[in-house]
């Protein structure tokens, strides 16, 4: 797999943000993190899912973890790109 590329199930889950199925989306991203710990794209997905659910405290923690691992990336992730 190409570094940073997401497997098909995770890529498909990204589209669920647009249909507001954030609980399902978050579970897919969390499952991916079991196999790919520290995956910035999946951490971003967890953060955005929690934020969409209104879980601000957990979203803030997820955001900090995302920012920690993504600080050296040369790509800016945006929810609109998923």
The structural domains of the chain, with segments of one domain joined by +, span: 20-73
**Helix/strand/coil for 8:** helix
For residue range 30-49, what is the model confidence (pLDDT) as tens digits?
999 999 999 999 999 999 98
pLDDT score, position 65: 97
CA–CA–CA angle 58, 7, 38 (5° rounding): 40
Q: What is the mean pLDDT of the chain?
A: 80
Over 70: is that where the pLDDT of 29 sits? yes
The model's pTM is 0.73
- Residue 39 phi/psi, 5-degree rounding, is -65, 115
- pLDDT of 71 strictly over 60: yes
């Amino acid at each position: 797999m190409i570094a940073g590329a997401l497997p098909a199930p995770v890529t498909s889950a990204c589209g669920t943000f647009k249909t507001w199925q954030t609980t399902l989306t978050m579970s897919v991203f969390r499952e991916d993190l079991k196999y790919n710990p520290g995956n910035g794209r999946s951490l971003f997905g967890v953060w955005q899912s929690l934020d969409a659910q209104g879980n601000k405290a957990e979203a803030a923690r997820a955001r900090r973890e995302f920012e920690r691992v993504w600080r050296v990336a040369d790509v800016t992730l945006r929810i609109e790109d998923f």
